[in-house]
Structure 1
Amino acid sequence: MVASGVFGGAFTLEEGLACADVDGKTIGEELERIGYAGEMECGGREVGAFFEAHIEQGPILEAEEKTIGIVQGVQGISWFDVSVTGMESHAGTTPMERRRDALVGCRQAEEIAAERGLEITVEEIWHSPPVKFAADCVGAVQNAAETLGYASRPITSGAGHDAVYVHNEIEAATQADIAAGCDVLLECDGRARHPRRRRAREGV
């Protein structure tokens, strides 16, 4: 989601290019290495609508035997660093009631922090607010699924996707479901590109 975040203005280009993997290789360096560091300005272009086809990454659609999930939006996500500070003591000679044991404190941190004299630090290190998708885009997907006869249901995405930024386990999918998703997107695209043809077909 780094690239879409830069395109959508959530991150600066410099921040995106500086992102590094566990080996210290940055996106900017690797783009240069493989010859993909282009000169075109990133972002700054008006986008009328953005549709992203993606597998659910969850069990709901399969359990309910639905082919298409009509995504209403994406849930918010927050990451925290939590530090519990106690004091090391000799495990054999220090009675439990006289210890400031951080591991024990972690198990019931909020309840016993004051009792055991522990310091608890909670720092939010990343936050992605919930995103509600545009009603006309959601409606286009729903109408396309109904037109094509695919079983569908409204759903909220529990994972982050590129649409989060452009808008403002083991993964698997059957060939039939992939084809259905592509059919729905093509139907949405056709409606957007040919509104007169759509209105004529619907008798408007």
Structure 2
Amino acid sequence: MAAIAGNVRIDGRRLWDLLMEMARIGATPKGGVRRLTLSAEDRQGRDRFRALCEAEGLAVTVDAIGNMFARREGRDPTRRPVMFGSHLDSQPSGGKFDGALGVLAGLEVIRTLNERGIETEAPLILCNWTDEEGSRFGHSLMGSGVWVGGIPLEKAYALADTEGVTVGEALEAIGYKGDLPARPFPADAYFELHIEQGPILEAEEKTIGIVTGAQAMAWYDLALTGWESHAGTTPPARRRDALVGAARVIALVDRLMREQGEDGRGTVGFLRVEPNSRNVVPGRVAFSAEFRHPSDAVIDALDRRFEEETRAIAAGMRLDLAFTRVFRYPAQPFDPACVALVREAAARLGYPAREIVSGAGHDACAVARVIPTAMIFVPCKDGLSHNEAEEILPEHAAAGAQVLFEAVLARANRVP
């Protein structure tokens, strides 16, 4: 007969030690990590993850986009598995916990089950998704996006980094272009533990965020092309300054964001200036832009206004504009039954908790399109993330992992 969670507790110290061990792979001098997706450091993290999973008796498979799935069998192999996990890739100057917490807390769930001899009714699958961050190849949620059918595999393979290396080439280079088809397989549910990456839980002294869904987002790639000319001899009327044009578009992004009040989000995070010489009027600037908001209608309106006003800026400055919509994700509600399991676990364990909408995109947002999904948040210091100074408390990591443990077991052992 399958055991239930009861008073079984994960080992918080063991989880913390594992987080610190993974943080040594791609460690930066300022205490963060640099494990860009499909890099040598990412390969080392993947290799370590695979070895740890296999040591726990899990069968590890890899699909064609590099997503990793570590399976623990259940009493009933015909039952659809319960999935959980996150990602191990990082930002160029990222923190130790973004993504890694969800993957390694999932491994701690498996270890606890194994050492207590607990057999679940349904199988379990621990996931490490490829390129959640989108910082190297420019497309966030790439692995999970391909898996759910939102991104064609060949399109993903053709994405290139700033050095011209494609996703397909990078997968081959690190040995993680797997044989498993990159498409959904039958699964019962998906749970993801993550740091909040914002200030709300810490400010309200809440240990657990019960994530009810994620806000809509739209990403863009833009390039403005003008005319390179001498900085000392070109008068204002003759200038076609691509960088000034980009600056005006950046100010537009900020203005449109602030018009939405506290729910508005708008960012330009990438900028490349050519020829990038101090005495040349810039002739070309390539840059990113994005908007996020809980409302699909607001994102639709921002999308229209942003393109219209950007084109007006370019035309007024005699600049050529390349305007590309990289992707658009609608607001994604999570499954009420799965969210309820997170809520019930937090209450049963006595953790201060609140419901929250995710301001960031996560693999769970993609997976939720095809599988019932829920997320668990824990606080991070000062709400800081995508930064080497990203920090969480060990007790919060343990609390999040415990809620994950309870929710996964409750789902895996439920009466179908």
TM beyond 0.5 = yes
Quote the offset at 1:41 in angstroms.
1.2
Aligned 8 A contact 1:84 1:118 in 2: no
Residue 377 of structure 2 aligns with which residue?
A: none
Quote the offset at 1:85 in angstroms.
9.9
Quote the offset at 1:20 in angstroms.
2.2
Larger Rg, first or second structure (1 or 2):
1
After superposition, the Cα gap between the structure-2 partners of 1:180 and 1:27, relative to the gap in structure 1 and judged at 3 Å, is same
Asked if 1:194 corresponds to 2:407, the answer is no
Aligned 8 A contact 1:68 1:152 in 2: yes
Q: Which amino acid aligns with 2:165?
A: K
Secondary structure of 2:219's counterpart equals strand
Quote the offset at 1:78 in angstroms.
1.7
Give the Cα–Cα distance (whole angstroms) in 2 for the partners of residues 66 and 160 of structure 1. Answer: 21
Secondary structure of 1:53's counterpart equals strand
Aligned 8 A contact 2:207 2:352 in 1: yes
Matches within 5 A, 1:42-61: 42-61=182-201
Which residue, out of 121, 142, 147, partners 1:7? 147
Give the Cα–Cα distance (whole angstroms) in 2 for the partners of residues 20 and 101 of structure 1. Answer: 27
Which residue, out of 367, 382, 391, partners 1:166? 367
Q: Which amino acid aligns with 2:361?
A: G
Per-residue Cα deviation, 1:118-163 (whole angstroms, up to 9, x for no partner): 3897956132211011111111111111111111101111111001
Q: Which amino acid aligns with 2:160?
A: A
Q: Higher relative CO (CA 8 A, sep ≥ 6), structure 1 or 2? A: 1
Give the Cα–Cα distance (whole angstroms) in 2 for the partners of residues 15 and 122 of structure 1. Answer: 19
Secondary structure of 2:195's counterpart equals coil
Asked if 1:65 corresponds to 2:205, the answer is yes
After superposition, the Cα gap between the structure-2 partners of 1:194 and 1:4, relative to the gap in structure 1 and judged at 3 Å, is same
Secondary structure of 1:32's counterpart equals helix
Give me the CA root mean square deviation. Answer: 3.2
Quote the offset at 1:195 in angstroms.
2.9
Q: Which amino acid aligns with 1:61?
A: L
Aligned 8 A contact 2:144 2:366 in 1: yes
Secondary structure of 2:194's counterpart equals coil
Matches within 5 A, 1:28-177: 28-80=168-220, 90-91=235-236, 103=244, 106=248, 118=316, 123=323, 125=325, 126-168=327-369, 169-170=386-387, 171-177=390-396
Quote the offset at 1:90 in angstroms.
3.1
Aligned 8 A contact 1:78 1:124 in 2: no
Aligned 8 A contact 2:191 2:408 in 1: no
Q: Which has the higher strand share?
A: 2
* Mean CA deviation greater in 174-183 or 17-26: 17-26
Give the Cα–Cα distance (whole angstroms) in 1 for the partners of residues 217 and 240 of structure 2. Answer: 32
TM-score, with length taken from structure 2: 0.39
Query: What is the count of residue pairs matched by the alignment?
Result: 186
Asked if 1:24 corresponds to 2:164, the answer is yes
Aligned identity (percent) is 43
Q: Which amino acid aligns with 1:174?
A: L
Give the Cα–Cα distance (whole angstroms) in 1 for the partners of residues 173 and 192 of structure 2. Answer: 29
Q: Note the residue ranges of structure 2 that are not aligned, 5 or more in a row.
A: 1-140, 227-233, 253-307, 370-385
Residue 202 of structure 1 aligns with which residue?
A: none
Secondary structure of 1:195's counterpart equals coil
Q: Which has the higher helix share?
A: 1
After superposition, the Cα gap between the structure-2 partners of 1:146 and 1:34, relative to the gap in structure 1 and judged at 3 Å, is same
Residue 185 of structure 1 aligns with which residue?
A: 404
Quote the offset at 1:5 in angstroms.
0.5
Aligned 8 A contact 1:77 1:127 in 2: yes
Give the Cα–Cα distance (whole angstroms) in 1 for the partners of residues 324 and 398 of structure 2. Answer: 40
TM-score, with length taken from structure 1: 0.76
Residue 199 of structure 1 aligns with which residue?
A: none
Quote the offset at 1:83 in angstroms.
8.2
Secondary structure of 1:187's counterpart equals helix
Per-residue Cα deviation, 1:170-199 (whole angstroms, up to 9, x for no partner): 232221111111100110011112236xxx
Q: Which amino acid aligns with 1:153?
A: R
Aligned 8 A contact 1:80 1:122 in 2: no
